Structure formats: C-alpha cells, structure tokens
C-alpha cells in the first residue's frame, strides 16, 4: 500500500510540474493538483501510523513469546529434575 501511495504522490507532483511547466495551468487545475497531493500525503501519513502500530504490536508479541519460552524452559527444567529424583528414589527402593 505504501508503494501505491508513493507512486500516487509522484504522479500527482509530476502532473503538477508538467502542467505548470507548460504554462497552461489554470488556478482550478493547480488547486486540484494541490488537493490530490494533500490527499496522497494524508494517505501516506495514515499508512505510516498503521505501520508503526503494527510494528509496536509485533514487538509486544515477540516479548510475550520470549517470556512464554522462558517459562516453558523453567517448567521443563523442573520436570526433568523431578523425574531424576523419582528415578533415584525408585532405584534406591529397589536396591533394598
């Protein structure tokens, strides 16, 4: 979407410069071109805000995933330790 907005802005500016360079632009045409440029800039600004929000959410999701991995690793370590204790207890009880 951002590339589309950038292309629209480029086209709007190119049309404006060509029209002004040709010397046949009326005030109405110039106003229309300015309006198009403002709309394109507004769309680009909205796209940038949306992208920043998405990046922020992705960063938060990554942080939560890392926390979940840490918790899972701790739980696995505890489980492994408990299994080892049980195995030692079983072997000890079998040797008596």
Closest listed residue to residue 5, CA positions, set 32, 45, 63: 45
> What is the C-alpha separation between 15 and 22, in angstroms, rounded?
10
User: How do the domains of the chain map onto residue ranges?
Assistant: 2-95
What's the pTM value of the predicted model, to 2 decimals?
A: 0.55
Kindly give the confidence (pLDDT) of every residue in the chain, 96 residues in length, as a single tens digit, with 9 standing for 90 and above: 567 777 767 777 777 666 666 556 678 888 888 999 999 999 999 999 999 999 999 999 999 999 999 999 999 999 999 999 999 998 888 886
């Amino acid at each position: 979407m951002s590339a589309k907005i950038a292309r629209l802005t480029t086209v709007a500016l190119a049309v404006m410069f060509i029209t002004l360079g040709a010397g046949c632009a009326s005030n109405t045409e110039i106003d229309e071109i300015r309006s198009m440029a403002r709309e394109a800039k507004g769309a680009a600004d909205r796209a940038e805000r949306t992208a920043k929000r998405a990046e922020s959410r992705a960063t938060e999701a990554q942080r939560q995933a890392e926390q979940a991995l840490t918790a899972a690793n701790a739980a696995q370590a505890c489980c492994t330790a408990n299994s080892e204790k049980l195995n030692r207890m079983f072997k000890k009880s079998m040797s008596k």
